[in-house]
Structure 1
Amino acid sequence: MTLPMVQPEAGLPERVTIYEVGPRDGLQNEQAVVPVEAKAEFVRRLLAAGLPVVEATSFVHPRWVPQLADAAELMGLLGDEGVDLPVLVPNERGLDRALELGLRHVAIFGSATETFAQKNLNRGLDEQYAMFEPVVRRALDAGLDVRAYVSMCFGDPWEGTVPVDQVVTAGTRLLDLGATQLSLGDTIGVGTAGHVKALVAGFEAAGVGTDRLAMHFHDTYGQALANAHAALRCGITTFDASAGGLGGCPYAKSATGNLATEDLVWMLTGLGIEHGVDLGAVVETSTWMAGVLGRPSPSAVVRALAGA
């Protein structure tokens, strides 16, 4: 299989963790329901390809995200293999379902802007923390690990640009609740490399080190890889990515596909950065899922290698 020439760059991390979000964030916006058996196969293939973390699903109300209405059934199909896979829990009821299944890793999903908090959570920007506080407290009391996402970190389709200080305040409040890691989301893909550096610097000035941050880029304007490279230069070592570049946000129509796992792996491999992922296996998985969905993969690397 074709691989890039390895040319390390000074000052970059030696190893990164790819946090695979394809089964949850990648599939959540699909209109045609993907069979639960195919979702389970998708998760298993991604794990077999060496991805260290695969976010399986979300315990959100089916009315809001019909594609993920089968969350409990999916986790049942995955059995013991699914216990250590993270799931999104939007509220206490979602946490109850995760606890009933004996899961060990959950995530909450906050907003850096008022408008998106209202549209996504039916809560105001400040009100969201009151909703999350008992979720995080109960999860931690039960011995679970909690990750936090904060969306609209680089721009909002209704409010426009989002000040760095506003994002830092929103993110640190989620960390202060007890989350161990904060994923910064470029939900509509408008971020640029300089903006990435400014945001990381803002968190560092607030006392949040890069070891507690992850980056979640969308490729709406073709900037996801450039932004990932900028984040690497800032010392970020965890990146969310979606196999085949699947994904979007049901509450923001301008949010197109996520950073493709294969595209990220190609860049990391060329930079000599360890990631532990079998590129060929992920490409095969994304090609298979493209067949399930009935359309080509958005990933440039998948298209190049699958057609080679």
Structure 2
Amino acid sequence: MTEALVITDVTPRDGLQDASGFVPLEDKIALVEGLVSAGFAHVEVTSFVHPLRIPMLPDGDQLVPRVAHLSKHLVALAPNIKGVERAITAGLPAVMLVASASESHNQANLNRSRQDTLAILSETARYAHSRELLVHGAISAAFECPFEGWVPVANVVEMAQAYREMGVTTLNLADTLGTATPKMVKERIHAVREATDSSIPLGLHLHDRQGWALANVAMAYEWDVRHFESALGGLGGCPYAPGAAGNVDTEKLVAFFEAQGITTGVDLDKLAILRRQLLNVIARHLPTPEEGAS
């Protein structure tokens, strides 16, 4: 049986991690509450990464206990066992692991080699499973790298096979730069499924530099991908990927599926209000010219 559509809104994590204006804790809580109220059961709420690496998200330990009751499908990025421990203490049922298909991007993003990262993630996954957490996996730069250009399919397959051994619940292919084409999406979905025996549900985490994200969504959906990630207002990017575009816009993604007669369960009117509120918060906390120059 084909899976039901799942859209995970990643605004509180990926959307805010390199936002131009800092979003205070209470506004982050209101954002998660608003997303769940609008119909999103799946929300990536924060990142349990050291704040020196992601200074816009230093407050996950305070955020999660305030929102964990809203949905059983909340998730946070956790790069290692310490991140998983923080997720457990905060009350989350699931974590997202991430590694890059590009050696250069992995070094920039995680400050270590791909092989060292996979070793750490393998230990992290075992620990998370031992504590009865769901473990999701993501392959960053699964299409193109800001430093190396086109990423070989073999690199993506290698990462997918490693995640399969970790026992991940879902596996996302991330278009970190936002330059993937439908042809590339089809190619990599096919290759990963062959390598993992179609045993892991695939998802797409799309950025939208070229305006092709919805075409990529359509291609993936035709190939039975049912997990997609997006952010309000197309916010987001990667602080360690020069030229990375914002995420595919949540409202556009929802409207796209609804136009095809595919029910999302999301209230677009509520989303529009929430987007305006969030952008106003970010605008209020933009650095002053003096702060920007310091």
TM score, norm. by length of structure 1? 0.88
- Name the structure 2 match of 1:9: none
How far off its partner does 1:128 sit? 0.9
- Name the structure 2 match of 1:265: 254
The 1:267–1:83 alpha-carbon spacing in structure 2 relative to 1, beyond 3 Å, is closer
Structure 2 residue matching 1:158: 3-state secondary structure: coil
Does the 8 A contact of 1:146 with 1:180 survive in 2? Answer: yes
After TM superposition, the structure 1 = structure 2 runs for residues 71-86 of structure 1, keeping only pairs within 5 Å, are 71-78=60-67, 80-81=69-70, 84-86=73-75
- Name the structure 2 match of 1:23: 12
Which of 176, 192, 200 pairs up with 2:165? 176
The 1:221–1:272 alpha-carbon spacing in structure 2 relative to 1, beyond 3 Å, is same
The 1:159–1:262 alpha-carbon spacing in structure 2 relative to 1, beyond 3 Å, is same
Structure 1 residue matching 2:127: 3-state secondary structure: helix
Which of 82, 94, 97 pairs up with 1:93? 82
Report the residue type matching 1:97 in the other structure: R
How far off its partner does 1:83 sit? 6.5
Structure 1, unaligned runs of 5 or more: 1-12, 296-308
How far off its partner does 1:44 sit? 0.3
Which of 287, 293, 300 pairs up with 2:276? 287
**In structure 2, distance between residues paired with 1:214 and 1:83:** 19
Deviation string 1:205-247 (CA, Å, 9 cap, x unpaired) is 2134286100011011111111111111111111011122111
Structure 2 residue matching 1:276: 3-state secondary structure: coil
**In structure 1, distance between residues paired with 2:102 and 2:240:** 13
**In structure 2, distance between residues paired with 1:146 and 1:14:** 18
Matched, 1:46 2:35: yes
- Name the structure 2 match of 1:120: 109
- Name the structure 2 match of 1:197: 186
Farther off after superposition, 207-216 or 64-73:
207-216
Report the residue type matching 1:136 in the other structure: A
Does the 8 A contact of 1:210 with 1:236 survive in 2? Answer: no
**In structure 2, distance between residues paired with 1:230 and 1:172:** 23
After TM superposition, the structure 1 = structure 2 runs for residues 1-308 of structure 1, keeping only pairs within 5 Å, are 15-78=4-67, 80-81=69-70, 84-209=73-198, 212-294=201-283
How far off its partner does 1:143 sit? 0.6
- Name the structure 2 match of 1:10: none
Report the residue type matching 2:235 in the other structure: L
**In structure 1, distance between residues paired with 2:144 and 2:121:** 23
Does the 8 A contact of 1:150 with 1:185 survive in 2? Answer: yes
How far off its partner does 1:180 sit? 1.1
The 1:160–1:104 alpha-carbon spacing in structure 2 relative to 1, beyond 3 Å, is same
Report the residue type matching 1:100 in the other structure: T
Structure 2, unaligned runs of 5 or more: 285-294
**In structure 2, distance between residues paired with 1:273 and 1:210:** 24
Report the residue type matching 1:230 in the other structure: M
Deviation string 1:96-132 (CA, Å, 9 cap, x unpaired) is 1112223211111111111111111111111111111
Give the paired residue count.
283
Structure 1 residue matching 2:97: 3-state secondary structure: strand
Q: CA RMSD in A?
A: 1.6
**In structure 1, distance between residues paired with 2:184 and 2:39:** 31
Deviation string 1:35-91 (CA, Å, 9 cap, x unpaired) is 100000000000000012011001100100011101111113325337651111111
The 1:208–1:73 alpha-carbon spacing in structure 2 relative to 1, beyond 3 Å, is same
Does the 8 A contact of 2:41 with 2:73 survive in 1? Answer: no
Q: Percent identity of the aligned residues?
A: 38
